[in-house]
Structure 1
Amino acid sequence: MTDLTNTTSRTRTFSWENPRQSARIVRKLSGLQTLDASLRGEFPDPPMAHLLGTTLIEAEYGWAVFTFTPAEFHCNFFGTVDGGMITTVVDSALGCAIQSTLPAGDYGVTQGLQLRFLRPLPLDAGPIRVEAEVILVGVATATAQARVVDEDERQYVYATTTFLIYRR
């Protein structure tokens, strides 16, 4: 058996700003206005984005794209990107796509999330895109789908979600 206790230790540090400050502003904007303001850097990214190293790079009505580059701190025991990491980024992208369709004061929360992992996501996959698009927004629920792809359009995950919509 290999002795794994003599590995080189690594450290990752990050900082974030108080998310409650942004939340007060966000409540007054439509979902799309919020995402546009975020893209312009008018308020800080959520702490989760700093923790995981993800970035919102595109937002339109019913559409959102996040990106990240796989890193060691995303790894599972098998040396690939952990499914929980992928699930978190997919949920964020789907939530932003749905939020982009909602008026000021309304918001959605995940009711159900289904992911189909098509292949392992290796650390050397390069920049990854998580593309999410809305399928339908109703009075009380919304549905959306997402895919996780690399620069060569190789797909790693397909996902669908249902969000509960809370209307003001």
Structure 2
Amino acid sequence: MSTIGAQAPEGDGGRATLTVDADERHLNAAGTVHGGMLATLVDATMGAAIRSAVDGETPATSQLTITYLRPGKPGELRATAEVRKRGESLTVCEADVEQDGSSLVHALATFALLED
């Protein structure tokens, strides 16, 4: 998280949030927030949501689908995530990234749970 200038996501009860201020280093050649930056935000936030809901297991992303809804610009980005389904070895989580009250990204991921 320090590489992208963000604090660790805060998670509790299967939900997590992460806020970061996007600046020039987060932009692509078109001047909008790079898709890889947005993917990092949802992946990290979903991982924190899952960690807050399980005990003694580490989530590992096994599948991640991202829908980019609109371009982001420099400024505050807020990622939120929530665990949707827990199975014996897989957990499904959803996340969104918003900026100025508008959705930029919706993501759905499956995580394998690895014993610590």
**Equivalent residue for 1:117, pick from 47, 55, 68:** 68
Confirm or deny: 8 A CA contact 2:60 2:112 kept in the other structure: yes
Query: Could you say which residue in structure 2 is the equivalent of 1:76?
Result: 28
Question: Normalising by the residue count of structure 1, what TM-score does the alignment of the two structures yield?
Answer: 0.66
Confirm or deny: 8 A CA contact 1:54 1:89 kept in the other structure: no
Rg comparison, structure with higher value: 1
Over the aligned positions, Cα root-mean-square deviation in angstroms equals 1.3
Query: Could you say which residue in structure 1 is the equivalent of 2:82?
Result: 133
Aligned: 1:165 with 2:113: yes
Matches within 5 A, 1:28-47: none
Q: Secondary structure at the match of 1:91?
A: helix
- Structure with the largest fraction of helix: 1
Aligned: 1:155 with 2:106: no
Q: Secondary structure at the match of 2:22?
A: coil
**1:102 shift after superposition:** 1.2
- Structure with the largest fraction of strand: 2
Structure 2 unaligned spans of 5+: none
Confirm or deny: 8 A CA contact 1:65 1:131 kept in the other structure: yes
Question: Normalising by the residue count of structure 2, what TM-score does the alignment of the two structures yield?
Answer: 0.93
Equivalenced residues, count: 116
Q: Secondary structure at the match of 1:85?
A: helix
Report 1 or 2 for greater relative contact order, CA contacts < 8 Å, sequence distance ≥ 6.
2
Encode CA deviations 1:59-100: one digit per residue, 9 max, x unaligned: 211001011111000011101110001101110001111111
**1:163 shift after superposition:** 0.2
**1:57 shift after superposition:** 5.4
Aligned: 1:58 with 2:18: no
Encode CA deviations 1:12-51: one digit per residue, 9 max, x unaligned: xxxxxxxxxxxxxxxxxxxxxxxxxxxxxxxxxxxxx111
Confirm or deny: 8 A CA contact 2:15 2:80 kept in the other structure: yes
Confirm or deny: 8 A CA contact 2:10 2:48 kept in the other structure: no
Query: Could you say which residue in structure 1 is the equivalent of 2:41?
Result: 89
Identity %: 34
Query: Could you say which residue in structure 2 is the equivalent of 1:24?
Result: none
Structure 1 unaligned spans of 5+: 1-48
